[in-house]
Structure 1
Amino acid sequence: MDKILVIDDNSAVGQALTVLFTLHGFETATALTPQAGLNRLAEGDISLVVQDMNFSADTTSGEEGKALFFAIRERFADLPIILLTAWTELETAVELVKAGAADYLAKPWDDAKLIATVKNLLELAELNAKQQIRASERHQRRQAIADKFDLGGLVYQSDAMQQLLEMALQVAKAEVSVLITGPNGAGKEKIADIIQRNSSVAKGPFIRVNAGALPIELMEAELFGAEPGAFTGLNKTRIGRFEAADGGTLFLDEIGNLSLAGQMKLLRVLQTGEFERLGSTQTRKVNVRLISATNSDLPGAIAAGDFREDLYYRLNVIELTLAPLKNRAEDILPLARHFLAGRPLTLEACRALENHDWPGNVRELENCLKRAALLASNERIDVGDLNLPPQAMRRPRPAFEPDEQQLREVLARAPSISEAARLLGLSRQALYRRLEKYGITPP
């Protein structure tokens, strides 16, 4: 059960609020002085504070309440605080709300409004606590994976990438073919690299072939090799990628571009491990783990007669689907900072990066930031350096994870904690958590 602490020098106020809160299912503790209130808070188990603004006789300035508020805020940054005030202290109460107080009510208070405010604040506090627990659990899961597996420097933050990564690592040791689907530039090759690094053939070669970048007439020679004279201009033996990958992994990107003849040979290799070079009758045998990738609609290609159904099911023992970058927006800023290698971004640049759709996905993001780093006139990358379309600056600004330098910059120019939270797109509670994370004392 939630417990509310009432700090007021008038015992009648404490008694009245105790009765009111008890009728609505809340436990209540009371304190007559600021120090007694702080001592009670130190004991723990308080979910919300209702505090007066004056404690000494004939005092109406509200300075005592102001000092108490900041003392509580310094020690218990996320604790909701409701101010009880006379009209003479209204200006001070408004100032404290801007600094993080949850609400203020004039004496005599409206019971219904006070109870509604208390319930809303306690529900919000419970939601924030659950979010913190989930965030902690996510961090622990990610740290456990990073400690146990070789992620090859993968940079990510989103739950979507976390789930895909966990599945990729689960199948890495299995002797099965993996098909990675997703849009161009989303990072399919990076996932294939992680599977190879954590596979039973991790010490073997990892050979990459982009089927989309090769003419169809050269595709079979590239994969299976060719003998001299197999086609015009070839005067020496050409070792194919399957032979080069023997004992390791072959990553075949844009598998949908493979010719039907090449598909037939690929199917045979998957079934038997055997193939012949172009222009040769000698059968060769290899042991290769195949990871393929495509941005094509392979079921649609099967229906059109452009892709073999039997090959599809051989390739698709395990399918990993990589979401486009716009659907895992939490990854944008961590990737951006990685590509900039330490160069800072302004707040406006961060917002523009998160607002853009990134049709070219991670590859487009990397190219954008490399260009910005080369052309920016200042050390800090600003929104104008990104050369993004105007709509990236006009759409709603999502919340993001600011770094320490951005927090200090916004705090220095914002008139209050409330305004700093608004500029950062965060709740006050979320901002206080980040200040605590970096050891920053609120101004």
Structure 2
Amino acid sequence: MPPPSHATLLVIDDNPSVAAALEVLFSLHDYRTLRASSPDEGLALLATQAVDLVIQDMNFTQDTTSGEEGEALFKAIRAAHPDLPVILLTAWTHLEAAVDLVKAGAADYLAKPWDDRKLLATVGNLLELGQATRAMADCARRDHRQRRELERDHDLRGLVWADPAMERVLCLATQVARADVPVLVTGPNGSGKEKIAEILQANSSVKDGPFVTLNCGALPSELIEAELFGADAGAYTGAGKAREGKFEAADGGTLFLDEIGNLPPEGQMKLLRVLETGRFSRLGSNREKQVKVRVISATNADLPAMIREGRFREDLFYRLNLIEIRIPPLAERPRDILPLAQSFLAAGKSLSEGAAQALQRHAWPGHVRELKNVMQRACLLSASPVIQAGELGLPVVAASAAHPASGPEPELDRDSIEQALARAGGVVSQAAIELGLSRQALYRRMERLGIARP
């Protein structure tokens, strides 16, 4: 993949031969390279030049090996340019300091002597992620026209959404999809993490490759490694013949690891090695296999808490969490409730106004999965084409608790109202609920803006 156009890299290293070698390497791949031989010179260049990425040494004083100069330089760069990615070049004596700086926000570290291909891959991925981050910052300014562009330009796998919180998730997912880096999808059970993984795959550079899934919480710990890496015949009790693992099956595509927090310690160590090298061995075999797999993982667990408790490897967390996509609970995206509910309705069924209000008032502890189950149950049990509130099986909540009478009505423009009406199929009461208005208030707003009644 060609590098992002007009990318400028800054190399800060007091060893002229190292700086020259990096400049030649990057120039061969069409990057513009700036060189600085000291921290002060590097900071001065950053103050006057537009730089997309920094590669810095960890030691600038020949008689010390502590890496303190590199740490001070990184902190100065971070303070002045908090979004600028920094790669640390380190000798093994500085490895602990480099790991600490990655925790503090450094993009990555590479040991000297570096591997050219790995360095170039890291630089390319970070530049693409930088582009994605800048695009994500623009998502807050997207209007409804940009929503249509999302749907037109990307494969969203039939996802139904209307809430700005979910649109921000989609903006990020579609922007990072083509960057060949691990992604961690977080959110509660039933919120749609696998759907986001499918969207990442569908818009990636390996979209035509396999999409393989493994639920790490659905198997006993002694079988997870065999599922991931495969096993030779006789590798464990009951292994009568060799079997292919998920990594082999996903070669050239994407592997989705759901409930990654349930991966046992031995599996965590082997997964880390595959992420770093692309190589692994089947259980019971000493022969290594090489694969190219994009790993997307998901969890509803608090991985930082598990790290503190010693139940999850910190280094694996930072490899998996190069970029995190958090899916908000359904209660945090209330505008999604009715469009999703309507998408789950059987043909010929609709919602009464009372049913729509009951759906809006419910807390949805089970999220989208619970909503789907509620709608399927109601469609099966309701003898009428119009589903009533009592047929949903939801607890009764006072309307005033969900829709306070006091407070100003939200300000809405013509496009917002027309699109809400379209999503509601012209049912004014349902559009009013989505917009946070009473039906009478919506009628008044429509009359003021000259919107015809459906």
TM-score (norm 1): 0.63
What is the match of residue 384 of structure 2?
378
Matched, 1:299 2:304: yes
Q: Give me the whole-angstrom Cα distance separating, in 2, the residues matched to 1:356 and 1:332.
A: 10
- 1:430 partner amino acid: R
Higher relative contact order (CA 8 A, sep 6+): 1
Output the aligned Cα RMSD: 2.7
Q: Give me the whole-angstrom Cα distance separating, in 2, the residues matched to 1:213 and 1:392.
A: 39
Quote the offset at 1:373 in angstroms. Answer: 0.7
Quote the offset at 1:410 in angstroms. Answer: 11
Q: Give me the whole-angstrom Cα distance separating, in 1, the residues matched to 2:453 and 2:426.
A: 11
**Does the Cα contact within 8 Å between 1:346 and 1:383 map onto a contact in 2?**
yes
What is the match of residue 445 of structure 2?
430
Q: Deviations over 1:222-278 (max 9, x none)?
A: 111111222222212121111100000001011000000000000010011111111
Aligned counterpart for 2:354 among listed residues 338, 344, 348? 348
Q: Give me the whole-angstrom Cα distance separating, in 1, the residues matched to 2:297 and 2:290.
A: 20
Aligned counterpart for 1:263 among listed residues 264, 268, 275? 268
Aligned counterpart for 2:334 among listed residues 321, 326, 329? 329
- 1:382 partner amino acid: Q
What is the match of residue 167 of structure 2?
162
Which consecutive residues of structure 1, in runs of 5 or more, have no partner in the other structure?
A: 1-133, 412-420
**Does the Cα contact within 8 Å between 1:253 and 1:294 map onto a contact in 2?**
yes
Q: Give me the whole-angstrom Cα distance separating, in 1, the residues matched to 2:240 and 2:449.
A: 65
Quote the offset at 1:390 in angstroms. Answer: 1.6
Aligned counterpart for 2:395 among listed residues 389, 395, 411? 389
Q: Give me the whole-angstrom Cα distance separating, in 1, the residues matched to 2:182 and 2:393.
A: 41
Q: Give me the whole-angstrom Cα distance separating, in 2, the residues matched to 1:184 and 1:140.
A: 31
What is the match of residue 215 of structure 1?
220
- 1:356 partner amino acid: H
What is the match of residue 185 of structure 2?
180
**Does the Cα contact within 8 Å between 1:179 and 1:317 map onto a contact in 2?**
yes
Q: Deviations over 1:5-46 (max 9, x none)?
A: xxxxxxxxxxxxxxxxxxxxxxxxxxxxxxxxxxxxxxxxxx
- 1:203 partner amino acid: D
Q: Deviations over 1:412-437 (max 9, x none)?
A: xxxxxxxxx9753744443448983x
- 2:165 partner amino acid: A
Aligned counterpart for 2:428 among listed residues 404, 407, 412? 407
Q: Give me the whole-angstrom Cα distance separating, in 1, the residues matched to 2:426 and 2:222.
A: 54
What is the match of residue 440 of structure 1?
453
Quote the offset at 1:220 in angstroms. Answer: 0.7
**Identity score, percent:** 52
Q: 1:264 to 1:426 in 2, by over 3 A?
A: farther
Number of equivalences: 297
- 1:213 partner amino acid: A
Aligned counterpart for 2:373 among listed residues 361, 367, 371? 367
Instruction: Name the SS of the counterpart of 2:298 in structure 1.
Output: strand
Q: 1:404 to 1:177 in 2, by over 3 A?
A: closer
**Does the Cα contact within 8 Å between 1:397 and 1:425 map onto a contact in 2?**
no
Structure 1 runs, 4 residues or longer, greater than 2 Å off: 134-138, 391-411, 421-436
Q: How do residues 129-144 of structure 1 correspond to structure 2 at under 5 angstroms?
A: 138-144=143-149
Q: Give me the whole-angstrom Cα distance separating, in 2, the residues matched to 1:376 and 1:344.
A: 11
Quote the offset at 1:406 in angstroms. Answer: 3.0
Instruction: Name the SS of the counterpart of 1:251 in structure 2.
Output: strand
Matched, 1:358 2:369: no
- 1:406 partner amino acid: V
TM-score (norm 2): 0.61
Q: Give me the whole-angstrom Cα distance separating, in 1, the residues matched to 2:141 and 2:350.
A: 26
Quote the offset at 1:172 in angstroms. Answer: 0.4
Q: Give me the whole-angstrom Cα distance separating, in 2, the residues matched to 1:142 and 1:345.
A: 26
Q: 1:435 to 1:213 in 2, by over 3 A?
A: farther
What is the match of residue 60 of structure 1?
none
